[in-house]
Amino acid sequence: MAVVTHNKLVRDKIPEIIKNDGRICKTEILSDDDYLAMLDAKLDEELNEYHKDQNIEELADLMEVIYAVVEARGYTLEQLESVRKEKAEKRGAFKEKIFLKTVYE
């Protein structure tokens, strides 16, 4: 039997999917501190996958991790959206495709 080492945070149903596929996996439940560290690593992983594939599935994966980070850090999605909207109102969004080249002072 081949053994593949992953050592990464996975979605909640992945162990069940592996088992239903007739395979065996070893898991552990992370401490809160380790969970936050692994979420940060997962953000990097998902962002890299988006850069590689640039598809909507990778964006959805990135959002799922962001939602998990929000909750793990004690915020709510409503707070996140409120902060996003406030920043967009004060500083704008990215809809106008503005590329800042130079500021002369």
The per-residue pLDDT for range 48-92, each reduced to its tens digit, is: 999 999 999 999 999 999 999 999 999 999 999 999 999 999 999
Question: Is residue 41 a contact partner of residue 9, using CB atoms and an 8 Å limit?
Answer: yes
Residue 53 is assigned to a structural domain of this protein: yes
Q: In degrees, to the nearest 5, what angle opens at C-alpha 27 toward C-alphas 50 and 39?
A: 35
Give Rg (Cα) of the chain: 19
Residue 97 is assigned to a structural domain of this protein: no
Is the pLDDT at 36 greater than 90, yes or no? yes
Residue 11 is assigned to a structural domain of this protein: no
Residue 82 is assigned to a structural domain of this protein: yes
Please report which confidence band the pLDDT of residue 1 belongs to, taking 50, 70 and 90 as the band edges. Answer: confident
Residue 66 is assigned to a structural domain of this protein: yes
For the chain, how many structural domains are there in total?
A: 1
Tell me the average pLDDT across 93-103: 96
Range of the structural domain that residue 47 is part of: 30-90
